[in-house]
Structures are given as C-alpha cells and as structure tokens.
Structure 1
Amino acid sequence: MVMVLSPLFLVFMLGLDLLPLALAQDDYRYRHFLTQHYDAKPKGRDDKYCDYIMQNRGLTSPCKDTNTFIHGKKNDIKAICEDRNGEPYGGNLRISKSAFQVTTCKHRGGSSRPPCRYRATKAYRVIVIGCENGLPVHFDESFIPPSQ
C-alpha cells in the first residue's frame, strides 16, 4: 500500500521540527534577562553588593554603565507580560501594575576596564519590560510610581 502525504501534513511536520528551536530561543532570551536583571533575595543591596553581582553576572568586561536588578518572585515578573500585573506601554513593552523592589548599580566612572566599582541605589519602582511569547526578555526602565 502506497501512502501519499498531503502538502498540509508536510508543513505540519516541518513546523513540529522548528518548534523546539523557537522555544529554545525564547528560553535563552528569558534566561539571559534573568541573569542580567533578576536577583530573588539580595544580600546587602549596597555598593559592595553591586560590585560583587555585576562581576558575578559577567557585566564588567567592559564595565556596564548602569544595570538594574529586580527582586522578588519570577512569577510576579512574568505576570507583567500578562494582564494580571502588566499593561501595554507601547510596542512590545509592558509596564507593571505594582512596584518592585529594585537595586540599580551605576558605574562610578573612570576606566571602563575592571576592576569596576558601582554605586547602589535601592528603591521600590514600577518597571517597564519587553516581552516575547509571554516571557520577559528586556528591561527597559523603572521609575518611582506616582502617588495615588
């Protein structure tokens, strides 16, 4: 018995082959976002914290000028990509409905080569992130929420 495969079936099978690649790319971008901008339970949140975490996360070759770390639960950050905790903010950006505890590390200046020294600023801020396929992949900005 000879089986004839329809073109639609072939397209479906090709799509199944490419799906893991697309999911792996999303997963990589999300993991990269977490490496650069997420620290669940920070210790200290002072200048030494920034010096340590910036080096530990590979953000000091050359010294990155400014980087913000979001503290809390991953699911709360993911929820910004949905209506549960986020609203559209233009393009694929979303703004959080709630404030997050953040630490912003700003390079103190001087050489852009290690050793890098940072000044820490800690605050509660509304954050703006870029989302793709329901996952945060880009930190855009943060600001102090307006008084209600």
Structure 2
Amino acid sequence: MVMFLKGIGLLLLFFILGLWLVSPSLTQGNNRERNFLTRHYDSKPKGRDDKYCERIMRQRQLTQPCKDFNTFIHGDYPSIKAVCGDRAGKPYEEGRFRKSNSPFQVTNCEHRGGSTRPPCKYRATPGFRYIVIACEHGLPVHLEKTTIAK
C-alpha cells in the first residue's frame, strides 16, 4: 500500500512539474496573440479614412513615437486564425509563414511624415489583400506583410 501511494505521489509530482513547464510557453503564445490582435485587428472599423487611422493608432498606443506604417485586418477573428491551418492558409517562404487563401479587408495606416512625436498624422489606404502571418500553436502572432489581391 505504501509503495502504491508513493507511486501515485510520484506521478502527481511529475504531472504538476509538467504543467509548470508547459504553462509559460502557452502564456507566452497567448501574449503574442494578444499583441497581434492589438496591433493588427479591428473587426468593425468605423470609417476607414485618415481620421480612423489617427484615432485607432492612438487608441492602440502605437504613437509613442509615431509608428511609420501599420495594417489593420477587418472581419471575424476565426477567419484570421484559420489561416494558421490548411483550410484557409498555405505555407509561405519555406513554411516560416502562412498566406491566406482568400483576401481580407484591410486598412493600411501610413505616417505622413514630419515629427515622430504625437499628435501623429496618418494617411489611410483601404483595400482587400492577402495576409502573410506567423503562427504559434495554431494562433496568429505576427503580421509579416500583405499582398495585393488579384
């Protein structure tokens, strides 16, 4: 009976140790996903003009200093996440990234120049483009670039 309890205790110890080792990598992936969403995702933009870019870049804290260029992807998050799988994306650049099979509605916000300190002025360019993203654990974590939808 004592050997049995020692065996269960040892298994429990390995289980807890395993959770402790795995959880930081999962948390890091979720933090990278949240960072991606903050920087590049806006499901329902209000307008897609210069004022939109100036407002959202300020709200997302991308203006300390003024970021030169940023792209916001619009639509539903499950469609973006699906690019990480074979149903909606394909390997790109030797498998380092995934390219969407379908274009997404996007807004590019480009700093108009001048001071890199706020208030930042941006020029908006709306359009439809394929997205090229990096994924970790099936989650989008980095927007590498977008390509023109043909």
Same fold (TM over 0.5): yes
Please state how far the C-alpha of 1:6 moved relative to its aligned partner.
9.4
Q: How does 1:17-96 map to 2 (within 5 A)?
A: 17-90=20-93, 91-96=95-100
Structure 1 residue ranges without an equivalent (≥5) = none
What SS class does the counterpart of residue 125 from structure 1 fall into?
Answer: strand
8 A Cα contact 1:108 1:119, kept in partner: yes
Please state how far the C-alpha of 1:82 moved relative to its aligned partner.
0.2
Match of 2:124 in 1: 120
The ranges of structure 1 where at least 4 consecutive aligned residues each deviate by more than 6 angstroms after the TM superposition are 5-9
Q: Percent identity?
A: 58
Q: Distance in 2 between matches of 1:93 and 1:9?
A: 38
Query: Given residue 16 of structure 1, which amino acid in structure 2 is its aligned partner?
Result: L
**Cα deviation per residue 1:60-110 (whole Å; 9 max; x = unaligned)?**
000000000000000000000001100000243100000000000000001
Q: RMSD in angstroms over aligned alpha carbons? A: 1.8
What SS class does the counterpart of residue 137 from structure 1 fall into?
Answer: strand
Please state how far the C-alpha of 1:20 moved relative to its aligned partner.
2.2
Please state how far the C-alpha of 1:29 moved relative to its aligned partner.
0.6
Classify 1:6/1:92 alpha carbon distance in 2 versus 1 (closer, same or farther; 3 Å).
farther
Out of 91, 105, 108, which is 2:109 matched to? Answer: 105
Q: Distance in 2 between matches of 1:134 and 1:92?
A: 13
Structure 2 residue ranges without an equivalent (≥5) = none
How many residues align structurally? 146
Q: Distance in 1 between matches of 2:42 and 2:113?
A: 24
TM-score by length of 1: 0.91
8 A Cα contact 1:40 1:71, kept in partner: yes
TM-score by length of 2: 0.90
